[in-house]
Structure 1
Amino acid sequence: MKMTRTALIIALAMPFSLVSTGIAAQTSKPNIVFILTDNLGYGEVGAYGGGITRGAPTPRIDSLAEEGSRYLNFNMETQCTPSRSSLMTGRWAIRSGTHSVPFGGVTDGLTRWEVTIGEALSDAGYATGYYGKWHLGSKDGRLPNDQGFDEWYGIPRTTDEALWPSASGWSADIMPPEQIMEGKKGEKSRELGAYDVVQRRKIDAEITRRTVSFIEKQAKADKQFFAYVALTQPHLPTEPNPEFKGKTGNGDWADMLAEMDAHVGDILDSIDKAGVKDNTIVVFTSDNGPEYIRPWDGWAGPWRGQYFTALEGGIRVPFMIRWPNKIPAKRVSNEILHGVDMFATLATFGGAKVPTDRPFDSHDQSDFILGKSEKSAREGFPIWCADRLQAVKWRNWKLHFYRQDNMFDPPVKNPVPTIFNLYTDPREEKPTVDTWVVGPVLKIVGEYQESLKQSPLIPMGTPDPYKPGASL
């Protein structure tokens, strides 16, 4: 179309960013869709050696590795709650009183003093939605809509509680069932019904439906959005949706994997249909290693161990990230990353602020993920099992202070720390004599211990209101 002289003068007088909507779109902050699975082992999806070898191909999940980057050394904490805490706050969970999966009798979850990535991105102008398992507080005041999210739907705790209503001897008078809930910022969350095995089979479909609706709504409103999608699969009981039951012919686990892939596909399709693919970051990962309890036990690929242990199988998980034309496609890296780094990294991508008034363990990995650097901003990290510093990982070495082969084994303190070279012994079975590694490992431990002098740990069960330095 030919531009008139008047229109041309007006256009030239306008700020350049307002002249071209194409350029404006390219320079705007990205949408973020963060998909977190529950106890999905390293070796489950096709891009990490699983998929068809586990009874069901995962083409939609694997497409993120083709269109984006795949990381072979992405690490989490050893249990669900601490992993979710460090993702949410950018701080080791030991600092926040969330170092262990909570059981009844104590105040659970994050204090309101903690700053979440939801709050940071909300303050930066994002619409924020949380869908799925929370596990960071089960009472009003500590639910997602109290911690920076405009809306949420899901369960406040965890999926094994779905077994309670059908358990022999169980009574709601003794132990009330977990509730599926929803809520909006500034309002009290409401209960939608008991989370039992029937609802367990259906909840990921509803999580996905609500995520898709949120994406469509925000894209239509031309609003930057952050969708945190905490799927409940494959946490025990690993029961597929009725629509997927028997679909693969290879059992419930494979049917669940096919279901998970379909849900991820639905989310990716909604991003495409909304026309925001080029400006949307999509992450796919897991909160820790695989299940241990049969018949729902998972697979950690080449690594030994599972969740609740400091072995590689307990902490190393799949991680893929896509941002078309920004994050390199088909890139594969074995550089160390940790879930705690997601806060600083996503904050950089979203133009959000990070806390400066407390120890903050998150490293900004934006340059590394964008391909501007071949090296991660992190060389190592401490590994806690509950409140016990169990091991430290540094480069391709691992130093264990305790021995524990599975979640039910009592931890046994080693008379001297055992050191493993993960290149030559990925299953951590044959200690090396590389004692020089103790130096950089103890530096990591020392830096953490030094930080405690100014900011003591928040004890698990600490009620609100909490303020640093106040007597508990």
Structure 2
Amino acid sequence: MSKNIYLDSNIITMKKIVRVFIASVFVLVGFIVQTIQAQNPNIIVILADDMGYGDIQAYNQESNIPTPNLNTLCEEGLVFTDAHTNSSVCTPTRYGVLTGRYAWRTRLKRGVLSGYSNHLIDTSRATIASVVKRKDYNTAVIGKWHLGADFAWKNGSCPKEADGLLYVAENNEVDYSLPVKNGPNQLGFDYSFIISGSLDMGPYVYLENGLATAIPDHMFPASNFPAYLRKGEIASDFKHREVLDEFTQKAVSYIDEQAKTKKPFLLYFALTGPHKPALPAKRFIGKSGLEAYGDMVVQVDWTVGEINQALKKNGIEENTLVIFTSDNGSYMYKIGEDQPDCFVDQMVEGYHASNHRANYIWRGTKTDIYEGGHRVPFVVKWPEVVKDGNTSDKTICLTDIFASIAEITNANVSSEMGPDSYSFAKVLSGKEDIKRPSIVHHSVNGVFAVRQGKWKMIFSNGSGGREKPSGKPFGKPYMLYDMENDPQEASNVIRANPEVAKNIEEYLNQVMIDQD
């Protein structure tokens, strides 16, 4: 982003100064201009967990779940209607957000990490935190990490099985009194307060700057839907219903503290909802009228409101860039009365097309390569730059957050950094389009898809996730959809467009070769 963008909200005022004051004041004006240009914005990236495109009323007018704070954010910011995650599940998307790089370029070729997995992001790799540190930012991550970190294993090394989603450390295998290594504090974050995995997997322990706030002292038993939890070690200060509140309090406190400093800050705030377990704080139970999942959405909305209030209270709202989005689509799925839920349990059964579609009209669900798995809400609020109440149909990917933050802060990054990231910074001011050639999507089972203009090609004979048939990676026949005329991916037109399919396949082959 050019420096002049930061001045858009001040141009009228500056011109008045020039007209009114005598020539000697030009020196002062020049000083003011330089000062404004030097004031990089505070940046807050709020990443919801499994929140669907249709969970926000501003995106889905048929939704009965009240989301007043998110609606206000949409009214005051720029709403992207064609935003996508690079993956349809948690870990790979989070990797892409922080590094601007597709996660299938790492050891993680499918699925997600466990709470015990070793680190996925190499400490030499640039992240949004390490990049803004070059511009003298304070940095923090609060919330769900789910990108691996190296626990102190008593036998000296992390077992290979720890990458498995169902892995449970038993028999006192981990020394929680020792610091976790190669985590967020080694990736550019000054402060971290996290859980290592997802809220439904152990270890159930808070890690503050790499140290457990309390030592796990017993094993928590597994439970089924709606409060789906895996067996895992748990600490005495860890209460599942209170985790999102705890993270929110920490985030608000961090904003309060940073407002007192003269330095800009970056806060990566990774929420734990509405991902399972659907365990909203007690004051939210019953607030949605749509059972536990809906109540979790209400709590997420409240959390966003708390962040906004903290900015207002501290007088830093105007020059704070807030991004709200989700790591993938919702696990709630029902596109119509003639199409049953692809995954049935007692909570999903309560969601009928007549009252709520978490993934809006999009086909599929979390884990799938279809739109419902990776098309997500994406809202940017930045009062000094972004005109409120606007929408954008530009196609963007969450990996683009890396390049955008680098441009906005004028941080110099090399071509090797964020190789799969394209800046949308100038889109925020309405000055330019994003120069993204395509997006490569990835499903839980390792199925690829490429979005290129109006075309979306799926390199599989199935969803790559929960919708049946699941198919196999590179299993034929492939699928090609015209997203302008068939956004619900109902008609495979690959036979009628062989040249389009050939060109997209060649593109994917080249992208997969271009590993860094």
Q: Which bracket does the TM-score occupy, shorter chain normalised?
A: 0.7 to 0.9
The alpha-carbon distance between structure 1 residues 274 and 257, as it changes in their structure 2 partners (threshold 3 A), is same
| Cα distance in 1 for residues equivalent to 2:499 and 2:313 | 54
Alignment of 1:329-344 (within 5 A): 329-344=388-403
**Structure 1 segments unaligned to the other structure (5+ residues):** 1-7, 163-176, 456-472
| Cα distance in 2 for residues equivalent to 1:438 and 1:270 | 49
Q: What percentage of aligned pairs have identical amino acids?
A: 29
The alpha-carbon distance between structure 1 residues 208 and 121, as it changes in their structure 2 partners (threshold 3 A), is same
Aligned to 2:460, the other structure's residue is in SS state strand
Deviation of 1:27 after TM superposition, in Å, equals 5.0
Aligned to 1:356, the other structure's residue is in SS state coil
349-358 or 395-404: which moved more? Answer: 349-358
Q: 1:309 aligns with which of 354, 368, 375?
A: 368
Given the alignment of the two structures, is residue 411 of structure 1 paired with residue 471 of structure 2, yes or no?
yes
**Structure 2 segments unaligned to the other structure (5+ residues):** 1-20, 151-179, 221-228, 230-237, 333-342, 349-356
Structure-1 residue corresponding to 2:196: 156
Given the alignment of the two structures, is residue 445 of structure 1 paired with residue 516 of structure 2, yes or no?
no
Aligned to 1:277, the other structure's residue is in SS state coil
Structure-2 residue corresponding to 1:166: none
Does structure 2 retain, via aligned residues, the 8 Å contact 1:420–1:430? yes
| Cα distance in 2 for residues equivalent to 1:14 and 1:134 | 48
Given the alignment of the two structures, is residue 369 of structure 1 paired with residue 391 of structure 2, yes or no?
no
Given the alignment of the two structures, is residue 36 of structure 1 paired with residue 76 of structure 2, yes or no?
no
| Cα distance in 1 for residues equivalent to 2:505 and 2:452 | 10
| Cα distance in 1 for residues equivalent to 2:298 and 2:501 | 44
Structure-2 residue corresponding to 1:263: 303
| Cα distance per residue 1:236-272 (max 9 Å; x no partner) | 1111111212234442222212211111101001111
Does structure 2 retain, via aligned residues, the 8 Å contact 1:39–1:286? yes
390-399 or 138-147: which moved more? Answer: 138-147
Alignment of 1:135-154 (within 5 A): 135-139=146-150, 140-154=180-194
Alignment of 1:230-249 (within 5 A): 230-249=270-289
Q: 2:499 aligns with which of 426, 436, 443?
A: 436
The alpha-carbon distance between structure 1 residues 119 and 98, as it changes in their structure 2 partners (threshold 3 A), is farther
Alignment of 1:126-137 (within 5 A): 126-137=137-148
Structure-1 residue corresponding to 2:214: 192
401-410 or 125-134: which moved more? Answer: 401-410
| Cα distance in 2 for residues equivalent to 1:397 and 1:274 | 45
Aligned to 1:363, the other structure's residue is in SS state coil
Aligned to 1:202, the other structure's residue is in SS state helix
Does structure 2 retain, via aligned residues, the 8 Å contact 1:306–1:406? no
The alpha-carbon distance between structure 1 residues 254 and 357, as it changes in their structure 2 partners (threshold 3 A), is closer
Q: 1:90 aligns with which of 100, 108, 111?
A: 100
The alpha-carbon distance between structure 1 residues 104 and 233, as it changes in their structure 2 partners (threshold 3 A), is closer
| Cα distance in 2 for residues equivalent to 1:213 and 1:28 | 22
| Cα distance per residue 1:268-313 (max 9 Å; x no partner) | 0111111111101011100011115544557211101112211011
Structure-1 residue corresponding to 2:161: none
The alpha-carbon distance between structure 1 residues 190 and 92, as it changes in their structure 2 partners (threshold 3 A), is same
| Cα distance in 1 for residues equivalent to 2:215 and 2:65 | 32
Deviation of 1:415 after TM superposition, in Å, equals 3.0
> How many equivalent residue pairs?
422
Q: 1:179 aligns with which of 205, 219, 227?
A: 205
Does structure 2 retain, via aligned residues, the 8 Å contact 1:121–1:347? yes
Deviation of 1:333 after TM superposition, in Å, equals 1.8
Aligned to 1:204, the other structure's residue is in SS state helix
Structure-2 residue corresponding to 1:67: 76
Structure-2 residue corresponding to 1:395: 453
TM-score by length of 1: 0.82
Report the aligned-residue RMSD: 2.7
TM-score by length of 2: 0.76
| Cα distance in 2 for residues equivalent to 1:80 and 1:311 | 16
Alignment of 1:200-211 (within 5 A): 200-211=240-251
The alpha-carbon distance between structure 1 residues 155 and 103, as it changes in their structure 2 partners (threshold 3 A), is closer
| Cα distance in 1 for residues equivalent to 2:115 and 2:310 | 39
